[in-house]
Amino acid sequence: MTKQNEILNKDFRRRIAKMCFEGKDGHIPSAFSIIDIVVTLYQKYLKFDAKKPQWPERDYFILSKGHGCLALYVVLARHGFITENDLNSFCRSGGILGEHPDLTKVPGVEANTGSLGHGLSMAVGLALGLRIRQFKNKIYVLVGDGECQEGTVWEAANIANNRELGNLCVVVDWNGSAAQLMPKENLDAKWKAFGWKTTVINGHVQKELDQAMRDVQFLSTGQPHVILAKTVKGYGVPLLEGHGTWHHRIPTQEEMRVIMEALA
Amino acid sequence: MSGKDIRQQFADTLLEVGRRDDKLVVMVGDISHFKLQPFSEACPGRFYNIGICEPTMISMGAGLAKAGLYPVVHTIAPFIVERSYEQIKLDFCYQKLGGNIITVGSAFDYSNLGCTHHCYVDFSLLKSLPETQIMFPASAQEFDVLFKQNYKNGKLNYFRIPKNSHGHEYDPNRIKVGQGLIIQEGRDVSVIVTGSQLKNAIQAAKILQQEDCGVEIIYMHTIKPFDQRCVRGSLEKTRKVLVVEEHSMYGGLGDEVLRTAKDIEGIKYATIAIPDDFIRGYGSYEDLCRDLGFTVEGMVKKIKQDLIGG
């Protein structure tokens, strides 16, 4: 895939790698897997005011696969929720940014995640609550395909369909993690069976991301929508791509040189 | 109200509060839906029978709170407290989102249903989480007062509704979260009791009074925050205490009393609680109470044997 498509968001990818290298912690491949999705949402589809993170009319983005949070942090910084200094303090004593997003510390973070299988269930409650209050906010949730092994994801998916939470859109970062253990995975059929409208795209191609995002209708009552974004873990740097040792590994100085060269 | 079924009061109180507060939203795990029909009809769009998926129901409750609502999550105690503990910890408590968990079937109320439907570590588990309040209202009046006082206080409120009421009513102005009630004063032995066992404690005190043993009864409808001042005042006077709780001997009311008494010299302590074993027997709730010593005779015997001799 790397050779076939233009690598988007190289600047964000470089910043993520640098944070991980300097903070001596983090999940680079998971962040590279979702960065194009997160950038697209914040640039074009989410309504927010970084100066007022709790603005009642904002749209909500819940990163349920919390270990991908480096991608969220760099985007929050770009839009002014947090600062460059905050990014520089990643995983350091006194900083606000840890290896999982924390809404009690980080402006713009909507949920504490990290234990997989919580984000969608909270989002279903939020979507229901906003509808009860007759608010029109949109709710996006990003889950991993590995996370979809959690039973609570399907409890929540079932409820969202039965309660017709059309104000909810899930994006699945379908990078093949689940297939490492469960190769018979067919996420599209599964979400369809749970009553969701599905769209399968390449999650690293801007045109496909935009088309899929534009197609989500966000009706207060209606069929919930899931975008199944096929991605590559570590996308953009061949050294990091795929499953295995890089999931939670810190690059050496020499590896950083290789990473930066790939993202030049 | 003294003889009223507490679960019925739960439904009536929610109806009353729901009518005047449109932010109250109720979710149940496929129980109590008939009792809550009046709420459902009076508060359209604010009652949901979510079904059999307790962890998700807890997370949804946190989501409702994030939307600015006051959620009530209601089902059988073990399925909320034990199965969904991580959701309570992370989604409500860590995120500082307020809500209300209201359970039935705590301790061994569902006696014949066995270990799957027993829950006697709920105080211990929930007490350990910051941002929680733990209430055990054992009368219709207490539920009504405590719920109205606390349902929108921003904490995670746990209301453990027992099968039986203790059958007593008190000045409602004296019922406040975190405050023990001195039911009767006595000079010789303190009995610290929670739940419907108050009824037995009062009877036991009458028997002991005939033998010139003055029992002071302190009733705790709130386990957290714990009223150390009230308990300490009594223990400093009597220096002998029996704790009665339908809960594991670990981590519940007894631990709070011991913590309160740790520097009172010469304190004698006894407890009637669930021992370090699973309850494996069958029979009615009353049968299990008898087996475990939760009776008038059990309390009298324990006080005589362990606290006052003879």
For B228-269, the pLDDT digits (tens) are 999 999 999 999 999 999 999 999 999 999 999 999 999 999
Enclosing domain of residue B272: 178-308
Q: Is B107 left (phi over 0), alpha (psi -120 to 50) or beta?
A: left
Query: What average pLDDT does range A214-239 have in this prediction?
Result: 96
Say if the ipTM goes beyond 0.85: yes
Whether residue A138 lies within 8 A of chain B, CB to CB, comes out as no
Q: What is the CATH number of the domain that holds B42?
A: 3.40.50.970
Alpha-carbon gap: B225 to the closest alpha carbon of chain A (Å): 23
What is the reported pLDDT for A184?
Answer: 85
Best mutation target among B27, B64, B83, B97 (most A Cβ atoms within 10 Å) is B64
| CB atoms A129 and B66 under 8 Å | yes
- Co-location of B10 and B155 in the same domain: yes
Q: How far apart are CA B298 and CA A67, in angstroms?
A: 54
In the DSSP assignment, the letter for residue A85 is H
Local confidence band at A126 (pLDDT 50, 70, 90 cut-offs): very high
Q: Looking at the structure, tell me whether residues B153 and B199 fall in a common domain.
A: no
User: Residue A220: what pLDDT?
Assistant: 87
Whether residues B63 and A128 touch (CB distance < 8 A) is answered with: yes
Task: Verify that B143 and B219 share a domain, yes or no.
Answer: no
| Mean pLDDT calculated for residue range B134-158 | 98
Asked if B223 and B150 sit in the same domain, the reply is no
- A54 in reach of chain B (CB within 8 A): no
The token pair at A145 is 């395909």
Query: What pLDDT, in 10s, does the model give residues A210-219?
Result: 999 999 999 9
pLDDT value at residue A65: 97
B156 and B201: one domain? no
> A78-106: per-residue pLDDT in tens?
999 999 999 999 999 999 999 999 999 99
Chain A interface mutation, best of B25, B28, B57, B59, highest count of A Cβ atoms under 10 Å: B59
* pLDDT score of A4 more than 80: no
In a domain, B30, yes or no: yes
Q: CA–CA separation, B45 vs B62, rounded Å?
A: 18
* Residue B19 to residue B43: CA distance in whole angstroms: 7
Stated pTM of the model: 0.96
Domain count for chain B: 2
Residue A1 has pLDDT above 50, yes or no: no
Q: What is the predicted pLDDT for the residue at A170?
A: 98
Closest chain A residue by Cα to residue B43 = A132
Asked, for residue B262, whether it belongs to a domain, the answer is yes
Digit-coded pLDDT (tens) for A143-188: 999 999 999 999 999 999 999 999 999 999 999 999 999 888 899 9
Mean pLDDT, rounded, of chain B: 97
Cα A106 from Cα A123, distance rounded (Å):
18
Q: Verify whether the Cβ–Cβ distance A121 to B56 is below 8 Å.
A: yes
Same domain for B192 and B116, yes or no, is no
Q: Is B115 left (phi over 0), alpha (psi -120 to 50) or beta?
A: alpha
In this prediction, what percent of chain B has a pLDDT beyond 90?
A: 98
Q: Report residue A244's pLDDT band, with 50, 70 and 90 as the boundaries.
A: confident
Residues contacting residue B241 through CB under 8 Å, at least 6 positions apart: B189, B190, B191, B192, B234, B235, B257, B261, B267, B268, B269, B270, B307
What are B286's two structure tokens? 């009353």
What's the whole-number mean pLDDT along residues B138-152? 98
pLDDT band at A2 (very low <50, low <70, confident <90, very high): very low
B172 part of a folded domain: no
Question: What's the rounded mean pLDDT across residues B25-46?
Answer: 97
- In sequence order, what E strands does chain A have? 60-63, 139-144, 168-174, 197-202, 225-230
Q: What is the pLDDT of residues B258-304, one digit of tens each?
A: 999 999 999 999 999 999 999 999 999 999 999 999 999 999 999 99
d(CA B126, CA B135): 11
Residue A122 touches chain B, beta carbons under 8 Å: yes
**A116: contact with B, CB 8 A cutoff:** no
CA distances from A119 to A45, A238, A264, B101, B268 (A): 20, 30, 34, 20, 49
Q: Are residues B10 and B156 in the same domain?
A: yes
Instruction: Catalogue all structural domains in chain A, each as residue range(s) with its CATH number.
Output: 10-262 (3.40.50.970)
C-beta of residue B238 within 8 angstroms of C-beta of residue B264 = no
pLDDT at residue B310 above 60?
A: no
Is B94 in the A-facing interface, judged by CB distances under 8 Å?
A: yes
Q: Is B33 a member of any domain? A: yes
Q: Tell me the CA end-to-end span of chain B in Å, nearest whole number.
A: 40
**Does A161 contact chain B (CB < 8 Å)?**
no
pLDDT of residue B254: 98
Mutation site, A122, A136, A143, A153, interface B, largest B CB count within 10 A: A122
Given CB atoms, is B50 within the 8 Å cutoff of chain A?
yes
pLDDT > 80? residue A5 = no
> Does residue B95 sit at the A interface (CB-CB below 8 Å)?
yes
Q: Does residue B62 sit at the A interface (CB-CB below 8 Å)?
A: yes
Q: Where are the beta strands (DSSP E) in chain B?
A: 24-28, 47-49, 70-76, 99-104, 132-135, 156-160, 181-184, 189-193, 215-219, 222-224, 240-248, 268-274
B230 & B141 share domain: no
Residue B171 lies in a domain: no
Instruction: Indicate whether B230 and B156 sit together in one domain.
Output: no
- Interface probe for B, chosen from A118, A139, A141, A221 (most Cβ of B below 10 Å), is A118
| B161 close to B135: Cβ distance less than 8 angstroms | no
Mark whether B152 and B248 lie in a shared domain: no
| Radius of gyration, CA atoms only, chain A | 17
Please give the pLDDT value at position B1: 63
B85 touches chain A (CB under 8 A): no
In a domain, B17, yes or no: yes
User: Stretch B111-127: mean pLDDT, rounded?
Assistant: 97
Question: Shortest CB distance from B59 goes to which of A125, A127, A135?
Answer: A125
The token pair at B56 is 């998700």
CA distance B75 to A7: 50
Q: What is the 3-state secondary structure (H, E, C) of B78-134?
A: HHHHCCCHHHHHHHHHHCCCCEEEEEECCECCCHHHCHHHCECCHHHHHHCCCCEEE
Picking from B116, B134, B160, the residue at the C-terminal end of a domain is B160
In this structure, the answer to whether residues B136 and B186 fall within a common structural domain is no
Nearest to A187 by CA among A169, A200, A168, A203: A200
Within 8 A of A126 by CB-CB distance, chain B residues are: 63-64, 66-67
Q: Cα distance from A126 to chain B (closest Cα, Å)?
A: 4
Question: Do the domain assignments include residue B184?
Answer: yes
Q: Which residues contact A42 (CB under 8 A, 6 or more apart)?
A: A48, A61, A75, A78, A79
Calculate how close chain B gets to A66, using CA atoms only, in Å. Answer: 13
pLDDT at B2: 62
Clarify whether residues B122 and B35 are in a common domain.
yes
Q: For residue B88, give both structure tokens.
A: 């309570």
Chain B residues in contact with A122 by the CB 8 A cut-off are 59-60, 62-63, 66, 91
B200 and B302 Cβ atoms separated by less than 8 Å: no
Task: Report H helices in A196-240.
Answer: 206-215
Tell me the CATH number at B226. 3.40.50.920
